[in-house]
């Protein structure tokens, strides 16, 4: 066995161990995210039960935005767990399925970005078409309304779309390499 083949074998063995550990870590983190969502919903339900009032539309949109953030984090953890499990089993992480999963996470980031804008209190005063208001009205609007731009969602989407392209290219290279062997 050549020295380079030996290094490749050693590196692959280390990656399999790392993949196994990461798979467990991502699973634990996913369970924690699910528990956080359950606790969040329980607290909101208790608040609703305590007041007896239906929440206003602005609050509902903010709750949906927060839940979408939890869905994004959960989806990222599941994708990372899937990749780590494949590495732990000795499979290539570069598959078309993984590239597609990463692209789904990117679209979730885009949805979170759009929903974050639509759920902001300043949105209604910025988007005003004659007498028709689009968005949510709030009595806390100032003279200079602010529409929040969630930079982390934009960056997350760009990174995930880029990674998806790289993953797809890696999968095609891996398939081409496997065909030669």
Please state, in angstroms and rounded to a whole number, the distance separating the CA atoms of residues 112 and 70: 10
H helices present in the chain, as ranges = 3-51, 57-88, 96-118, 123-126, 151-180
Please state, in angstroms and rounded to a whole number, the distance separating the CA atoms of residues 74 and 26: 9
Question: What is the structure's pLDDT at 21?
Answer: 96
88 Cβ contact partners less than 8 Å away, ≥ 6 residues apart = 16, 17, 19, 20, 22, 23
Is residue 153 a contact partner of residue 117, using CB atoms and an 8 Å limit?
no
Nearest to 125 by CA among 141, 105, 103: 141
Question: What is the structure's pLDDT at 126?
Answer: 53
Question: What is the structure's pLDDT at 129?
Answer: 46
Please state, in angstroms and rounded to a whole number, the distance separating the CA atoms of residues 146 and 150: 12
Question: What is the structure's pLDDT at 138?
Answer: 47
How many domains is the chain built from? 1
Question: What is the structure's pLDDT at 175?
Answer: 86
Tens-place pLDDT, residues 146-175: 667 889 989 999 999 999 999 999 999 988
Please state, in angstroms and rounded to a whole number, the distance separating the CA atoms of residues 117 and 126: 11
Instruction: Look up the domain containing 23 and give its range.
Output: 3-180
Question: What is the structure's pLDDT at 31?
Answer: 97
Low-confidence ranges of the chain (pLDDT < 50): 128-129, 132-141
Question: What is the structure's pLDDT at 16?
Answer: 92
Please state, in angstroms and rounded to a whole number, the distance separating the CA atoms of residues 173 and 138: 53
Whole-Å CA distances, 152 to 1, 70, 109, 158: 47, 14, 9, 10
Question: What is the structure's pLDDT at 143?
Answer: 54
DSSP string, 149-162: --HHHHHHHHHHHH
């Amino acid at each position: 066995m050549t020295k380079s083949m030996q290094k490749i074998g050693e590196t692959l063995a280390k990656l399999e161990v790392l993949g196994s550990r990461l798979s467990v870590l991502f699973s634990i983190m996913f369970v924690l995210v699910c528990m956080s969502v359950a606790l969040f919903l329980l607290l909101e339900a208790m608040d609703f039960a305590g007041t007896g009032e239906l929440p206003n539309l602005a609050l509902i949109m903010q709750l949906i935005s927060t839940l979408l953030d939890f869905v994004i984090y959960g989806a990222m953890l599941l994708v990372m767990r899937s990749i780590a499990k494949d590495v732990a089993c000795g499979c290539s992480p570069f598959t078309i399925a993984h590239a597609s999963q990463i692209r789904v996470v990117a679209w979730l980031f885009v949805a979170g970005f759009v929903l974050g804008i639509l759920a902001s209190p300043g949105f209604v005063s910025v988007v005003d078409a004659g007498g028709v208001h689009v968005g949510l009205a709030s009595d806390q609007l100032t003279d200079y309304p602010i529409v929040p731009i969630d930079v982390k969602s934009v960056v997350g989407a760009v990174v995930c779309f880029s990674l998806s392209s790289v993953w797809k290219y890696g999968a095609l290279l891996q398939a081409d390499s496997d065909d030669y062997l």
